[in-house]
C-alpha cells in the first residue's frame, strides 16, 4: 500500500480539480467541512449533478437546519497556494432509505449571482465490478483551511491501494447492507464522497469510510460501488421551467450522465437489503 503525497496531483486540474470539490455546511459563524463530491453532469441551463457519500448528508436527511454547499473556485486564483471560492448552495439531494452510502446532489450555477467560476467538468462513470488484486486510486480533500472570505488552501489527497475483497451485498452488519469493495488504502475523513478509480482510470467507486494507521490498526477502507447510484432519483428543471424526477437509469439513457461500457448488472432492493448481480 502506497500513500500518495498530497502534492502529486499538482498540474492535473484538467483531469481532477475541475470536477472534484469540497462539500461543507455553512454555519452563521463558521464553515463545517464535511467531505468531497464530484460532478457527473453539467447542463446548459446551469444545473449540475454531483455524486457524494450518503453519510455526509445525514444532517439534511434528519431535517436539521443545515446549509449544505459545494466550494467551487473562481476563475482566477488570488494568490499562489490559496484559492478564492464560491460556496454554491446544494438545492437538491437524492438518497435512499437503505444503507446505500451513495447520494446525488444538485447545484445550480444560476445561484452564483454573476460570480465568474471555473468551468465545471463532468466525468463519466463505469458500472463495473471491482476486481480483487486490482490497483485503485481514491481522490478527495483533507485538512484544508477555510476562512471567512471563502478562501481555502487546497489539500487535494490521493491514496493508492489494492482491492482486497468485493461485497455484492454487504461487508458486515456494521458497515451496512449495500454493495461495496474493500481496499488497503488510507481514506482520510475529508475524502468521503470522492471518486475511486481503477487502474484503467475508470470511475468505479465512491469513498465511504476507513481506518488508517494513525489509529494503530491495520488500514482498511471501503468504497461504495458506483452501480448503487442506479437506486437513486433526482429532480431536474427543464428549459421551460418545468420539473420532473429522473431515475438514474433515465439520466443515463438521455445522455445527461455519461456511462462508459461496463459489466452488465442487476440491482435488487428488498427487505434483506440492496444487492448487485453481475453478469
What confidence tens digit (pLDDT) does each residue in 217-256 have?
A: 677 789 999 999 999 999 999 878 889 999 999 999 999 9
**pLDDT score, position 149:** 55
pLDDT at 5: 41
Cα gap 252→268, rounded to integer Å: 19
- Grid cell 477555510 is found at 146
CA Rg, the chain, in Å? 18
Regarding pTM above 0.75, the answer is: yes
Angstrom distances, CA of residue 108 to CA of 96, 235, 253: 22, 12, 22
pLDDT value at residue 3 = 41
Q: Considering only CA atoms, which of 108, 105, 101, 97 is closest in space to residue 24?
A: 105
Asked if residue 92 lies in contact with residue 105, where contact means CB atoms within 8 angstroms, the answer is yes
Which pLDDT score, from 0 to 100, does residue 28 have? Answer: 61
Every domain of the chain and the residues it spans: 125-228
Q: Which fold has domain 125-228?
A: Thrombin, subunit H (2.40.10)
CA 101/CA 119 separation, integer angstroms? 28
pLDDT < 50 regions, the chain: 1-13
The pLDDT of residue 146 is 60
Amino acid at each position: 500500500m502506497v500513500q500518495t503525497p498530497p502534492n502529486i496531483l499538482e498540474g492535473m486540474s484538467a483531469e481532477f480539480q475541475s470536477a472534484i470539490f469540497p462539500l461543507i455546511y455553512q454555519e452563521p459563524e463558521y464553515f463545517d467541512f464535511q467531505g468531497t463530491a464530484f460532478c457527473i453532469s453539467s447542463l446548459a441551463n446551469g444545473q449540475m449533478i454531483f455524486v457524494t457519500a450518503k453519510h455526509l448528508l445525514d444532517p439534511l436527511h434528519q431535517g436539521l437546519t443545515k446549509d449544505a454547499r459545494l466550494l467551487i473556485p473562481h476563475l482566477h486564483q488570488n494568490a499562489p497556494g490559496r484559492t478564492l471560492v464560491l460556496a454554491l448552495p446544494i438545492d437538491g439531494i437524492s438518497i435512499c432509505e437503505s444503507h446505500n452510502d451513495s447520494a446525488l446532489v444538485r447545484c445550480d450555477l444560476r445561484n452564483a449571482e454573476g460570480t465568474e467560476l471555473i468551468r465545471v467538468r463532468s466525468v463519466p462513470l463505469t458500472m463495473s465490478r471491482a476486481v480483487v488484486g486490482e490497483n485503485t486510486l481514491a481522490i478527495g480533500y483533507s485538512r484544508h483551511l477555510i476562512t471567512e472570505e471563502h478562501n481555502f488552501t487546497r489539500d487535494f489527497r490521493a491514496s493508492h491501494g489494492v482491492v482486497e475483497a468485493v461485497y455484492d451485498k454487504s461487508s458486515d452488519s456494521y458497515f451496512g447492507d449495500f454493495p461495496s469493495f474493500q481496499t488497503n488504502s488510507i481514506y482520510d475523513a475529508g475524502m468521503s464522497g470522492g471518486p475511486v478509480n481503477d487502474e484503467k482510470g475508470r470511475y468505479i467507486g465512491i469513498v465511504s469510510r476507513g481506518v488508517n494507521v494513525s489509529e494503530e490498526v491495520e488500514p482498511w477502507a471501503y468504497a461504495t460501488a458506483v452501480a448503487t447510484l442506479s437506486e437513486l432519483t433526482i429532480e431536474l428543471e427543464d428549459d421551460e421551467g418545468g420539473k420532473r424526477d429522473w431515475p438514474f437509469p433515465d439520466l443515463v439513457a438521455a445522455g445527461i450522465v455519461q456511462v462508459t461500457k461496463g459489466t452488465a448488472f442487476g440491482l435488487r432492493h428488498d427487505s434483506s437489503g440492496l444487492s448487485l448481480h453481475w453478469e
